[in-house]
A and B are shown apart, each in its own frame.
Chain A
Amino acid sequence: MQSDFRVELRTEGRAAIIAVSGELDLASSPVLDTELERAADSGSELLVLDLRRLDFMDSTGLSIIVKAHQRLAENGRVLSLVRGPQQVQRLLDLTGVAERIQLVDTPEEIVDGA
Chain B
Amino acid sequence: MLDAGSLGERFLDGGGAEFTVLLETLGEAVTIRDVNDEIVYANRAALRQLGFESLEKLQRRPLVALMDEYVVHDEHGRPLTMADIPSVRLLNGEPAEPLLIHTVHQTTGASRWQLLKAAGLRDTADRLVAAVTVIEDLTAVKTAEVHMRILSESGRVLASSLDLHQTLANVAEVGVPGLADWCVVDLIDEDLNREHVAIAHRDAGRRDLVARLRELEPVRVDPESTAGRVFTSGESQLFFDVPDEHLFRVAAGKEHLQILRALAIRSAVAVPMRTRGRTVGVMTFGTSESQRRLTAVDLDLAEQLAGRAAMAVDNSRLHTTLSLVSETLQQSLRPSELPPVPGWEVAALYRPAGASQRIKVGGDFYELLTDGEACLALIGDVTGHGVNAATLTALLRHGAHFASRLEPEPAAILNELDELLRQRSETWLCTALCARLEPEELVLSSAGHPPALIVDATGTVTEAPDPGPLLGAFSDAEWAQHRVAIPHGGLALLYTDGVTETSGVNDRFGTDRLKQLLSAHAGADPDTLLDALDHALVAFRHGEPHDDIAALALAPNPA
Contacts and interface: CB of A to CB of B under 8 A. Distances in A.
Interface string B37-55: 0000000000000000000
Contacts of A11: none
Contacts of B504: 1
Interface residues of A, number: 20
A59 to B, nearest CB: 5
Contacts of A67: 427, 429
B193 to A, nearest CB: 44
Contacts of A63: 383-384, 427, 429
B547 A1 contact: no
B429 A66 contact: yes
A67 B467 CA distance: 20
B383 A60 contact: yes
B547 A26 contact: yes
B448 A94 contact: yes
A25 B546 contact: yes
Interface string A17-49: 000000001110000000000000000000000
A96 interface: yes
Given A1-B508, A70-B427, A96-B474, A58 B547 contact: yes
Contacts of A100: 469, 473-474, 476
Contacts of A112: none
A1 B469 contact: no
B440 interface: no
Nearest to B474: A100
Contacts of B429: 59, 62-63, 66-67
A97 interface: yes
A1 B383 contact: no
Given A1-B503, A26-B547, A94-B466, A60 B384 contact: yes
A94 B473 contact: no
A100 B478 CA distance: 13
Nearest to B470: A95
Contacts of A59: 381, 383, 429, 431, 497
Interface string B279-305: 000000000000000000000000000
Nearest to A66: B473
Interface string B158-176: 0000000000000000000
A4 interface: no
B469 A99 contact: yes
A94 B468 CA distance: 7
A33 to B, nearest CB: 12
A58 B450 CA distance: 12
B547 A96 contact: no
B379 to A, nearest CB: 14
Interface in A54-103: 56, 58-60, 62-63, 66-67, 70, 93-97, 99-100
A56 B508 contact: yes
B507 interface: yes
B542 A97 contact: no
Contacts of A66: 427, 429, 470, 473
Contacts of A26: 385, 546-547
Contacts of B385: 26
B479 to A, nearest CB: 10
A66 B384 CA distance: 14
B501 interface: yes
A62 B382 CA distance: 12
Interface centre among A59, A63, A97, A99 (most CB of B within 10 A): A59
Given A60-B384, A70-B473, A97-B469, 4 more contacts: A63-B427, A66-B470, A95-B431, A100-B476
Interface of B: 381, 383-385, 427, 429, 431, 448-451, 466-470, 473-474, 476-477, 497, 501, 503-508, 542-543, 546-547
8 contacts: A1-B506, A26-B546, A27-B546, A58-B501, A58-B547, A70-B427, A94-B451, A96-B473
Interface of A: 1, 25-27, 56, 58-60, 62-63, 66-67, 70, 93-97, 99-100
